[in-house]
Chains A and B, each alone.
Chain A
Amino acid sequence: MNITIIGVLAALAVLVLTVELLRRRALREKYAVIWLIVSIAAVVFTVFPGLLLRLSQRLGFQIPANFVFAIAALVLLIVGMQLSLEVGRLEDRSQRLAEEVGLLRHDIEQLRSERGTTSGALEADVSVAPPPGGSATDPGDGGSDFV
């Protein structure tokens, strides 16, 4: 009895958490689907334990717990795979972006040195050294006192 209540509460907590995170847009729908399914199933099976018993017997599991563990392992495997995939994709994209940022920075520096002017605030965080032979650099612009 006690264990049932704890089980139901835990399952409900996961369900509420998932919905709440979705509502706040902290969790993307493509990751939420699997957690929604898991938490709904957990609620259903803890409220109706007989369902779990019959289902596991039908599938040939001798102990219902083994059925639950097998499913849990499978779900975690799939989630792990999906996350690895996603991380790889993100890594690839951030690398591409890093390359593009580097190239753009180069172009900006080149444009600046060709114009022979510095433009205050931006100058500071791109940390541009004086252009080769750039006598026209204007230190009076402010923000480049370190040059």
Chain B
Amino acid sequence: MTGSGPSRRLDSVLVEQGHAGRALVVVPAWNESEALPAVLVELRDKIPDVDVLVVDDGSTDGTADIVRTSGTASVVSLPFNIGVGGAMRAGFLFAERNGYRAVVQCDADGQHDPADIERLLAELDSGLDVVIGARFAGVGDYKVGGLRRIAMRFLASSMSRITGTRLTDVTSGFRASSARAVSVFAREYPPEYLGDTIESLVVARRAGLSIGQLPVELRERQGGRPSQSSFKSVVYLGRAVLVLGLAVLHRGAGKGDA
């Protein structure tokens, strides 16, 4: 672990311990060797008090080795690619077993500014369980076009109704979870496609967690390639609607106000 002294007893590693009061940044990474080094350096420089865990989701480009040699983050290496949802669930398990007070999910491509992490954590301190770093809430100039925007608008308004809070960006992968949320997510973080963004909020709502958002600015990707095309957007919209519908129906609907 990053901040622990060398004098720690061997057996203490296996016992839940040690990190009470600390927050953990979980970075799900799949073949992100290009952008990851810069992200790790920035995380260390901007938020030295927060531990970092990279979940290497079956990468084939040595992503895990980059983290190991950096020496500033821990790495959990999954044996094969299981998707962001599964990677995050591993992160939540890790956080729960090691007694962290909060988890912040942060992308490995440098789009999320580590400086915002402290702000997200501050929102948790004010009583929220899940805080979404939202891209459309007036800060920054993040824009998407056409169908994808329609899809995102639709999802945002549906999720706002389901959760009872005004949410403008439910597909953001930049979010903070309180200890309560961590123990819920460690048990049932939906590992399916889009489960980590949309369905997880339904799960959170059903577990009685409070949800909120915080405007953040999105930066240029520092490596890798973005995934947007109009055909993909149509597929995305279709699957999103399906996922949302199933999430709401799942075990006899949640709050009835959907």
Contacts and interface: CB of A to CB of B under 8 A. Distances in A.
A96 to B, nearest CB: 8
- Interface residues of chain A: helix, strand, loop or mixed (majority): helix
A110 B71 CA distance: 12
A109 B90 CA distance: 17
| Chain B interface size range | 20 to 34
B79 A92 contact: no
Given A92-B191, A95-B191, A111-B10, A103 B80 contact: no
Interface string B50-76: 000001100000000100110100111
A92 B187 CA distance: 12
A114 interface: yes
A113 to B, nearest CB: 9
Contacts of A102: 55-56, 76-79, 90
A28 interface: no
Interface in B1-60: 1, 6, 8, 10, 13-14, 55-56
A101 interface: yes
Could you say which interface size class chain A belongs to? 20 to 34
Interface in B89-111: 89-90, 93-94, 97
Contacts of A133: 71
A99 B86 contact: yes
B82 interface: yes
A101 B80 CA distance: 10
A89 interface: no
Contacts of B76: 102-103, 105-106
Contacts of A109: 68
Contacts of B89: 95, 99
B75 A95 contact: no
Interface of B: 1, 6, 8, 10, 13-14, 55-56, 65, 68-69, 71, 74-80, 82, 86, 89-90, 93-94, 97, 191
Given A106-B77, A110-B1, A114-B13, 16 more contacts: A92-B191, A95-B82, A95-B89, A95-B191, A98-B78, A98-B90, A99-B78, A99-B90, A102-B90, A103-B94, A103-B97, A106-B74, A106-B94, A107-B13, A114-B10, A133-B71
